[in-house]
Amino acid sequence: MNTLEKLGAFNVWANTTVLNRLNEVAATGQEIPPIVLRLLSHVLNAQAIWIARIGGTPSPVKVWQEHDLAACHQLHAQTSETLHQIMVQADETELQRLISYTNSLGDKYDSMVHDILTHAVVHASYHRAQVATRLRDHGLEPVNSDFITYCRELSAAGLATVSL
């Protein structure tokens, strides 16, 4: 498996893992801190935005648009595996293709698809770490969504990717 494909599979696993933890919190009747939903919404929004930019379509969401837990699940279902499949299916020509886009501040940029896909996973990891910190700040135990934890699960299961 190439690195980009593995990172895409990891991203699906990590988003699923965090959402499952939030389901557990909600099931106990505890409130999910609004900042946690804001950060996770941002992760999923960014995925939708990057997918739209790669595909040359308008974004269905805004960068910091906030969602409840159910809507986060829906956006995850619509974007996480789609992003992974772009990583799986992209050939070298596609990975080197330049995408022209305007960011949320109105600045214009050109970026290679490969760099965008790598950024999407790194960006999501950064904000999932913030989710973990905010959960702990509110007395809730976060889940470990580190890349190496994903790799350990792969190894323990004798698999190339974790089945979701």
pLDDT digits (tens, 9 = 90+) for 56-81: 999 999 999 999 999 999 999 999 99
CB atoms within 10 A of CB 108: 8
- Closest Cα partner for 52 from 61, 42, 43? 61
- Closest Cα partner for 39 from 105, 131, 101, 110? 131
CA–CA distance, 56 with 61 (Å, rounded to integer):
15
pLDDT digits (tens, 9 = 90+) for 104-127: 999 999 999 999 999 999 999 999
pTM of the model: 0.94
